[in-house]
Structure 1
Amino acid sequence: MSGNLKLPVGIDDFRKIRECGFYYVDKTKLVEQLMQNWGEVNLFTRPRRFGKTLNMSMLRSFFEIGTDKSLFDGLYISRNKELCDMHMGKYPVISITLKGIEGMTFEEARNMLKIILKNEARRHYYLKNSDRLTDDDKQQYEQILLGTSENTADSLRLLSQLLFLHYDKKVVILIDEYDVPLDKAFQNGYYSEMTSLIRGILGQALKTNDYLQFAVLTGCLRISKESIFTGLNNFKVLSIADARFDEQFGFTDSEVRDILEEYGVSDKISEVKDWYDGYRFGKADVYCPWDVINYVDHLQADPNARPQAYWINSSGNGLVRRLINIADESTKDEIERLIAGETIEKAIRLELTYDEIDNSIDNIWSVLFTTGYLTNAGEIELPGGGGYGYRLVIPNKEVRQVFVSQIQEWFRQTVTYDDGSVQDLCEAFMAGDADKIQSNLNMILIKTISVLDTKARDDQKENFYHGLLLGLLRSKPDWRIKSNRESGDGFSDISIEPTIPEKGIVVEVKYSNTISGLDDACGKAMKQIRDRRYDEALREDGREDIIAYGIAFCRKRCKVVCEKM
């Protein structure tokens, strides 16, 4: 490794990064922009894993009274001496993150919020003995500290008041991942109660707070102002569509090239760009920081390491699943176009409430856009004077991978079709009825989403159909089904051991570029089964009545042939 600094994998504490010798991509220009583009309450909405928490930690380190000013030596902001003299280490700071607030019930979630507030109050334990606080002030502080305050919604405002009384300086409030409690509440059925609580906390701390210098909030979604920011007129929203601060979250191309050069892997720029670039914030093209750091770290141990889906694996894909669950035929076609690398044109709502998300498929597109599953490929003027929208596109190979994997999962859910076509399909496999298998598969393909017009290599398309067929066949829970089972002189695609002990099924899947090539592809599949003796493993298990199937796919069509072995 040519880089002398450690890579900060999973570390979002600015002080630790600077004190312990970790590589830091300098985002301190954010401080200058905040001071020059003044907003009393600033909300940044960005997808997960784009540096929001680290930036909030950096802001706390810069503004908080008693900070170690040497943490900023050599960084961009240190060159603005006038600003540093005026603001560095000048404010009491309240800094909390709400990303840990969850629970199956509202009471559980509220208790977790109380713990977070208690921990932040404990960080200011000097208030307990402050000679500038009255006994009543100290009693109120004690209630926050012990979690016994009856008015949780007023806790942040009250703590800021106590800090002001102690320091005679207004307070900076930093709230990271403000929308996570609402997301969890929506999933677990107590959304209205949590909305009321968060509205109360933010309203008290940000709207009617005489002790507030300024506040910064971060989140993934911009929740409707009417929902939780009612009456907040000092509110500046900085979404992914805003050109202001557009380079302060995510890595720019030059920053990524610097990292790769630092760690001796500049030759990997093409892979990094294909997999982790493609996001458009305002007027800036950015990479996902989480991905870049993890991949470079992986390359230090294995120079031949291939890119992986780090962001998707860390952030979950429930939103895509929600989209698939309500998809109609038009939406399915649009998903297919996206996977193929095309763009779709949509009006986007940057302000939503969680309970609106499932009301309209158009809201789902908005959610996928704001959370990073889709990105802006250009602004458009909507027809009929409907304002402006965006051309949306899947940003990179990593996100395209989750779309494909979730589509496969959606295919597997076709086993719940009321028309019984999947059960008929399984019965046809037992009976050696190639025509019926072909008819049922074609019907299922027409009803579902085809990804065969994607830009994937042909062998990857074959893998897709392999997964599709496995999902359908596994609707028979009493069948033993093995994928890529070693048998004879190779590995059969699918091997099935039904409950009837003497029966066995072997399936070989092929992909054809053209409909006219399906017959030839089936012939190749059957020849491969015979030549490589894929029936051997089944015979070793005592199964002598074996049916072999060659199945070829082309887009939404298939061809099936079979023979007894």
Structure 2
Amino acid sequence: MKKDVLFMTGNEDFSTIIEKNAYYVDKTSYLKELFMSSSEVMNALFIRPRRFGKTLNLNMIKTFCELNYQNPGDKSYQQKLFIDNGRNLAVATGDYKELREKVMGEYPVISISFRGVEGNTFQTAVSGLLGIIAELYDRFLFLRESVKQSDERIKQFNAIYSFCTAKYNKLSDPDNLNEAIVICGSFLATLAEMLYREYGRKILVIIDEYDVPLQKAVIAKEPYYDDMLEIIRKISVTTFKQNPDPWLYKGIVSGCLRIAHQSVFTDANNFTTFGMNDEPYTGFFGFTNDETHKLLNDCGLSDKESEVKEWYDGYRFGNKHIFCPWSLISYCYAATQKDNTVPQPFWVNTSGNDLITMFTDNSMESHNAENIDKLQKLMEGENVNISLMEFTTYPDLRVGVSFDIFMTMMLHTGYVTFAEGAMLTDKVTVRIPNQEVLYCFNKKRELLFGENNPYWYNQALKLVDLLMANNTDEAQMLISTMLKEFLSIRNTGHELYYHGFMTGILGLATATKNFTYHEEIESGTGFSDIIIDSFDNKTACILELKKTENLEDCYDVADAATKQIIKKGYASKFISRRYKKVYGIGIGFAKKSCEIISLGNLVEVSANSKV
């Protein structure tokens, strides 16, 4: 491998990457499509999963287009970064000469990211947005000294800047909060109008991560979705109108989730959304096969290509196979700088919003047997069918959503992708893209079905109550459901798996109820599998477990388990202690199902046998 390749992992500033001579996968060929093609659109919304290069690409666009505010007409900065860097970028070739003449360094650019707009309260989130506005206005303080600006405009600029810098942390005052909301809705148009007056050139507006504030508003401790939606709508209204202001040249917006125009981009019907499968931008975000092959070759890692493909490939955008750029760059950095070529789950560790956990914690549909089976199939490398959903609001996983809504979100956020050959219609076939995401699913599954998960823990408590009441019909249904959630087919090959499964769900639950839990203890003339003992209630439940390969034999092995309870006299010591109720229960397991047979109260059986 080569040690002289520089990677700036986490750096999303185009100029820094070029100036530091760090590795850059060339995406400049898309500039012509954006600004000079016959299919050029007024306003573009790009929907892609997180960590797929959205921010870097938008920063590259900003750097290419932005005017030298102190010396309009001077394009030396862009000449250095895009043309004279020795990299042979696509935009430096003769085919892009007209684009360079008409677009490069020609436009004032307003570029903001909503990535950091979050908080457990609405006030905290608005405060974060005010900080972003203050940073933006700080770049354009020179406008206050211009003779081209009216006194009223300068006064308005100063009022916004002063408020954002002085009162961002005083929003508990209702008057300040109301003023902050007004500023959030008007700051962009105010600045754009001043830039247009100053330079007589239309403005390029770039908004990165437009949907982050909406997502964070949903999952906050005190949700404030409607309030935040009104701010995002107001920004849209004042920026991307159906009949745009004379100052707007073009809008470019990015996000992870497609939310219906009528909900967010009000009166912005001139918006065109480019999802993962929409040409001509399917290769704009992420690394294609050719780009990945070149990257690995440049790093001296060509021999790792098949392993890299297994871990980080698998995404299907249109007809292209796309690799996750964050994971690939992180892998190459670890390999070239730390001599570590073992693939790791880089992308999944960057998640700020655990969709899998939220869905399973809050949605009844996550525990539906059919949906559990679909999740199991995904984890076993199979495809599943879903109906794509368009969202009019950001789905609230806290209150529960349907399985199709959940899977559509998983598709947009990169946890699943379109299956090869799947028709890209309302009903689609999806799969887990690669080993990295599969690792994530498996880790989440371990957490979901542990003692710290409220749903799982409550189910365990319920099962203990059912067994101690000898309610075997409901216990059988509950255990079968839990088996489908907890075990994959690969883990049902040995009886010890079922023993461990029952131990895991009953052990802590019995302690919570102040029952005594025993496993493999001597009883009668043998060793019973599991005993739940309530001394205070003089009740015990004896469980004997058997396993078979075939579902049709499940009843027979459960019956054999009950006969063993009788033969070995497992109930004898409890009967001798004058227990009132001692239930003998045999459980037969087969794959993800079970059969339960109860001997009833063995105290009564013993008494009747002596009569």
- Structure 2 distance, partners of 1:10, 1:459, is 44
| Aligned with 2:240 (options 206, 209, 212) | 206
Name the counterpart of 1:540: none
Superposition pairs of residues 305-384 of structure 1, within 5 angstroms: 305-316=341-352, 318-324=354-360, 325-327=363-365, 328-355=368-395, 358-378=400-420
Structure-1 separation of matches of 2:268 and 2:140: 27
SS of the aligned residue for 2:419 comes to: strand
Partner of 2:195: 163
Partner of 1:81: 97
Instruction: Give the alignment of 1:128-207 within 5 angstroms.
Output: 128-147=144-163, 150-188=182-220, 189-207=223-241
Q: Deviations over 1:229-248 (max 9, x none)?
A: 12212111001121221001
2:119 matches 1:109? no
Alignment partner of 1:70 is 2:102: no
Match for residue 563 of structure 1? Answer: none
Give the AA of the match of 2:67: I
How far does the alpha carbon of each residue in 1:525-553 deviate from its partner, in whole angstroms, 9 at most, with x for none? xxxxxxxxxxxxxxxxxxxxxxxxxx998
What is the match of residue 54 of structure 1?
56
2:58 counterpart letter in structure 1:
M
| Structure 2 residue ranges without an equivalent (≥5) | 69-76, 165-178, 515-532, 536-544, 558-586, 597-611
- Output the CA distance in 2 between the equivalents of 1:241 and 1:460: 44
Residues in 1 aligned to 2:320 and 2:485: alpha-carbon distance in whole angstroms: 30
Residue identity matched to 1:70: K
Alpha-carbon offset, residue 303 of structure 1: 4.0
List per-residue Cα deviations over 1:23-80 (Å, max 9, x = no partner).
1011112212201231111000000000001111111110001243211142111111
Aligned residues of 2:6 and 2:23 also touching (Cα < 8 A): yes
Q: Distance in 2 between matches of 1:460 and 1:305?
A: 35
Does residue 414 of structure 1 match 2:456? yes
User: In 2, Cα distance between the equivalents of 1:260 and 1:460?
Assistant: 42
The amino acid that maps onto 1:143 is A
CA contact (8 A) 1:176 1:218 kept: yes
After superposition, the Cα gap between the structure-2 partners of 1:417 and 1:457, relative to the gap in structure 1 and judged at 3 Å, is: closer
Count of aligned pairs between the two proteins? 501
Match of residue 23 from structure 2: 23
Residue 252 (structure 2) aligns with: 216
RMSD between aligned alpha carbons? 4.0
Q: Deviations over 1:293-336 (max 9, x none)?
A: 11122223554542121111101452112332332222111111
- 2:437 partner amino acid: V
Q: Deviations over 1:4-36 (max 9, x none)?
A: 331121111111111112110111122122012
Q: Hey, what's the Cα distance between the residues in 2 that align with 1:210 and 1:359?
A: 42
- Which has the larger displacement, 225-234 or 412-421? 412-421
Q: What is the letter of the counterpart of residue 274 of structure 2?
A: L
**Is residue 411–residue 417 contact of structure 2 (8 Å, CA) maintained in 1?**
yes
TM-score (norm 1): 0.78
1:281 deviates by: 1.2
Contact between 2:50 and 2:256, CA under 8 Å: does it hold in 1? yes
Contact 1:153 1:198 in 2 (8 A): yes
Deviation of the 1:285 alpha carbon:
1.0
Q: Could you tell me how far 1:405 is from its partner in structure 2? A: 2.6
List per-residue Cα deviations over 1:331-372 (Å, max 9, x = no partner).
111111111211112221244421476443322221111111
Using the size of structure 2 for normalisation, the TM-score is: 0.72
Corresponding letter in the other structure for 1:196: E
Q: Secondary structure at the match of 2:251?
A: strand
Between 46-55 and 291-300, the greater mean CA deviation after superposition: 291-300
SS at match of 2:484: coil
Structure 1 residues 275-314: aligned runs within 5 Å: 275-303=311-339, 305-314=341-350
1:238, 1:461 → 2: CA distance? 51
Select the structure of larger CA radius of gyration.
Answer: 2
Instruction: Determine the C-alpha separation between the residues in 1 that align with 2:547 and 2:81.
Output: 58
- 1-structure distance, mates of 2:332, 2:305: 11
Rounded Cα–Cα distance in structure 2 between residues aligned with 1:346 and 1:295:
32
Give the Cα–Cα distance (whole angstroms) in 2 for the partners of residues 272 and 381 of structure 1. 27
- Corresponding residue of 1:543: none
For 1:341 and 1:266, locate their aligned partners in 2 and report how far apart those are by CA, in whole Å: 26
- The CA deviation string for residues 94-153 of structure 1, in whole angstroms up to 9 with x for no partner, is 110001001112122112111111111111122121221122121111122223664320
Q: Deviations over 1:412-460 (max 9, x none)?
A: 34221286214778x99xxxxxxx9x99997654112537986869999
CA distance in 2, matches of 1:356, 1:152: 24
**In structure 2, C-alpha distance between the alignment counterparts of 1:332 and 1:13, rounded to whole Å:** 42
CA distance in 1, matches of 2:263, 2:4: 48
Deviates more, 1:140-149 or 1:350-359: 350-359
Task: Specify whether residues 242 and 330 from structure 1 end up closer, same or farther in structure 2 by C-alpha distance, changes over 3 A only.
Answer: same
Match of 1:258 in 2: 294
1:405 to 2:443 alignment: yes
CA contact (8 A) 1:18 1:24 kept: yes
Asked whether the equivalents of residues 377 and 392 of structure 1 are also in contact (C-alpha less than 8 Å), the reply is yes
Structure 1's unaligned 5+ residue stretches are: 429-435, 480-497, 501-508, 520-550, 561-565
Find 1:241's aligned residue among 256, 263, 277.
277
User: Kindly tell me: are residues 472 and 265 of structure 1, through their superposed partners in 2, closer, same or farther at Cα, counting changes over 3 Å?
Assistant: farther
State the percentage of identical aligned residues: 32
SS of match in other structure, 1:25: coil
Q: Tell me the amino acid that sits aligned with residue 116 of structure 1.
A: I
Q: Tell whether the 8 Å contact from 2:487 to 2:592 is kept in structure 1 after alignment.
A: no
